[in-house]
Amino acid sequence: MQLAKYVKFREEQFGGVLFETQSEKVFTLNAAAAAVVRELPAGGDAGAIAARLKQRYQDPSNTIEHDVALLIDDLRTKGLIVEAAA
């Protein structure tokens, strides 16, 4: 997965911002959502991203996995992320 062609990410103190340049829509992200977006360049699906975050933040529950899956689905539905070109 990767950010769509016309989407820019900027980190902020509160988390981050996704700016979709064609429609000029701005999406604010809390710190947890920004952490997910920062993981996109490392590759993998939602499960791989969740596993890296789970290890980094040492969360023994399945909360991270669930939240990452929901966020990825929402970002994909809004056209903010797409599958990486092979």
Domain count, the chain: 1
Closest by alpha carbon to 55, among 35, 70, 37, 71? Answer: 35
Alpha-carbon distances of 34 from 52, 85, 86, rounded to whole Å = 14, 22, 25
Per-residue pLDDT of 22-45, as tens digits, reads 999 999 999 999 999 999 998 889
50 found inside a domain: yes
CATH of the domain at 67: 1.10.10
Check whether 58 has a pLDDT greater than 60: yes
User: Is residue 86 over pLDDT 70?
Assistant: no
Determine the pLDDT at residue 55: 85
Structure confidence at residue 83 (pLDDT): 87
Average pLDDT over every residue of 9-33: 95
Determine the structural domain holding residue 50 and report its residue range: 2-81
Nearest CA among 54, 10, 4 for reference residue 29: 10
Asked if the model's pLDDT at residue 56 lies above 90, the reply is no
| Residue 63, CA distances (Å) to 13, 14, 38, 57, 59 in order | 23, 21, 19, 12, 8
Q: CA-to-CA distance for 15 and 30, rounded, in angstroms?
A: 4
